[in-house]
């Protein structure tokens, strides 16, 4: 699997040590006090859109899969990430669901996955990918073949413009972009709305602080 330096940089922070503090640093502190989008809001978004047959892309620590309410006690679940540390930690955390595990680059065609899903989540993924939102439409194009008719893709991303952003949030975002942990200096609410509108008739965006919670439906394609 050939990876660009920018792709490698966006996922390199997810070391074993980084994942050990992720839930506290990001989900408890940054979400509430810097990005101004409490983790419970993202969890509510999960609970509204999760299905019995679900694929989670960009798994982090597996927090949301662990905490969300699936419609059944025995969902069909798969996890996908480029980072093996994240995959292994998440697989262990949600082993009660016996998830399938795929290591893949979301910017490539996903030929190794041979199942379709009713829901796919991409939480806090887009702002870690290289390029701007116009180029990141490739994420949706690559996932659509894995989505059943009437299925949904949902998730969240941190935006740099068109949202309420404190001085602290601006400074931290700038630091993360310089380190290439984030690549979202051109990710605006206007651009997110434009790329979703160009591909989907049925989509929604809710802004909470610096974060956009979005959902698209396959049934309604432009």
Using CA atoms, how far residue 134 sits from 26, 74, 139, 168, 217, in Å, is: 26, 37, 10, 27, 19
For 128: left if phi > 0, alpha if psi spans -120 to 50, otherwise beta; the answer is alpha
Tens of pLDDT, residue by residue over 178-208, are: 999 999 999 999 999 999 999 999 999 999 9
Query: Does position 169 have pLDDT exceeding 80, yes or no?
Result: yes
pLDDT at 221: 66
Which CATH class, in words, describes the domain spanning 5-104+112-217? alpha beta
CB neighbours of 46 closer than 8 A, spacing ≥ 6?
A: 64, 68, 121, 123, 154
- The answer to whether residue 3 scores a pLDDT higher than 60 is no
CA-nearest of 214, 215, 207 to 161 is: 207
């Amino acid at each position: 699997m050939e990876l660009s330096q920018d792709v490698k940089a966006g996922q390199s922070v997810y070391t074993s040590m980084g994942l050990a503090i992720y839930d506290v640093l990001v989900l408890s502190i940054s979400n509430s006090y810097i990005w101004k989008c409490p983790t419970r809001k993202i969890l509510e978004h999960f609970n509204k859109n999760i299905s019995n047959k679900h694929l989670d892309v960009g798994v982090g620590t597996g927090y949301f899969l662990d905490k969300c309410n699936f419609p059944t006690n025995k969902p069909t679940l798969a996890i996908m990430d480029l980072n093996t540390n994240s995959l292994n930690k998440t697989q262990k955390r949600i082993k009660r669901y016996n998830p399938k595990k795929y290591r893949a680059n979301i910017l490539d065609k996903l030929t190794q996955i041979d199942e379709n899903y009713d829901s796919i989540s991409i939480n806090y993924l887009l702002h870690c990918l290289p390029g701007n939102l116009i180029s990141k439409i490739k994420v949706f194009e690559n996932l659509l073949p894995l989505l059943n008719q009437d299925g949904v893709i949902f998730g969240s991303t941190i935006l740099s413009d068109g949202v309420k952003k404190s001085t602290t949030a601006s400074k931290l975002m700038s630091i993360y972009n310089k380190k290439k942990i984030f690549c979202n200096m051109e990710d605006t609410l206007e651009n997110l709305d434009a790329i979703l509108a160009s591909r989907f008739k049925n989509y929604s965006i809710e802004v909470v602080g610096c974060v956009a919670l979005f959902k698209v439906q396959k049934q309604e394609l432009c």
